[in-house]
Amino acid sequence: MANSHADITLLLEGTYPFVRGGVSGWVHQIILGLPQFTFGLIFIGSKSSDYEDHKYPLPDNVVHLECHYLWNPDATKAKPKACQGNSHYFMETKKLHEWFQEPNMAYDEKVVQRILTGMGQKSGCTAEDFLHSEAAWEQVCASHQRFCPESSFTDYMWTIRAMHEPIFKLAAIAHQYQQTTGVFHTVSTGYAGFLGTMLSNLTGRPLILTEHGIYTKERKIDLQSIFIKEHRDYLSDAPDKGMEYYEKLWISYFESLGRLIYYNSNPIISLYERNRQRQISDGADAARTQVIPNGMKIAQFIALREQRTDKIPLVIGLLGRIVPIKDIKTFIRAMRSVVSKLPEAQG
């Protein structure tokens, strides 16, 4: 599906139109509710095998859909070949990394734009340069020596490669993008937000960010679960210090992407004030942030509410999909605590 122009291009990571859920439902409602606008959709997924057919019928005002999968095997990889690499480009990326590490450091917009527009390009740094050049090797070695000299260099190198592989794939997607649009609108930070940042810098079109949940917070929950489960020293009660470092490194990675996306987005929208404050604490400019709560047609529930008895029963409800990020297990455990004090309570 393709068209030369979409008024709004939505950047969607692991959601609409292949996965049902709150964010996907919101996206579908937005498209249906704005028939006067045309929409383009760029879907970012893990592997193509992880997704089935569309869960939502695409409305008539969707004029473009493209799907990309960050962890699909790459059958086009060339044979590794050593090269010198662009030393100047890597020096500029060092400045960006310093900004990630120092929140109060001034943001050099021109440097960051050169980094973003040069990523994946021969004039800047290709994926092959990052994987096989002397300049990249020197930077990785220096970073390992500076930040974690006591940990395994092999683990560090493969972690850095795993972090940058999807970034270079997103850069390729951005440079290959052929459509025109009025505005890019990402519904998360993370990979979709980074693609939006790339596209905004390449095309000069504005980027809007709407976060239903705070992406970096959700990835932190995921990562803590993974590292606690899989990387503990079973010969002692102490966690593996090396794995503890890599957990922090991955968290910092997503936080850094978030800061970059916040800087390049305007406006930055959240659903309620506490999330807006979280965005600000994570690096968003308060002047760009705003709250647009989810709407609800409450009139349809008035008759039902009037049927309630004078004594409201002690029922606690949870609305959410049965998936790990919704933390259903904690709700069940919490209900056990509640019922021990209030036997008549129900969940």
248-262: string of b/e by CB count within 10 Å (b at 16+)?
A: ebbbebbbbbbbbbb
What is the separation of C-alpha 111 from the centre of its chain, rounded to a whole number of angstroms? Answer: 23
CA max distance for the chain: 78
Q: Evaluate if pTM is beyond 0.75.
A: yes
Q: Are 7 and 38 in contact (CB under 8 A)?
A: yes
Q: Mean of the pLDDT values across residues 232-246?
A: 56
> How high is the pLDDT of residue 200?
97
> How high is the pLDDT of residue 320?
84
> How high is the pLDDT of residue 305?
87
Q: Mean of the pLDDT values across residues 226-243?
A: 52
- pLDDT of 182 strictly over 50: yes
Quote the CA–CA distance of 15 and 185 in Å, as a whole number.
14
Quote the CA–CA distance of 94 and 157 in Å, as a whole number.
17
Mean pLDDT of the chain: 90
Across 41-50, 304-313, 314-323, the highest mean pLDDT is recorded for 41-50
User: Minimal CA–CA distance to 170: which of 186, 193, 204?
Assistant: 193
- pLDDT of 183 strictly over 60: yes
Q: Note the pLDDT tens digit of each residue in 95-148.
A: 999 999 887 888 889 999 999 999 999 999 999 999 999 999 999 999 999 999
Angle at CA of residue 181, ends 114 and 184, nearest 5°: 65
- pLDDT of 228 strictly over 60: no
In order of their start, the domains of the chain are: 5-73+177-291 (3.40.50.2000), 87-152 (no CATH), 299-341 (no CATH)
Angle at CA of residue 57, ends 55 and 59, nearest 5°: 140
Q: Mean of the pLDDT values across residues 73-86?
A: 79
> How high is the pLDDT of residue 302?
92
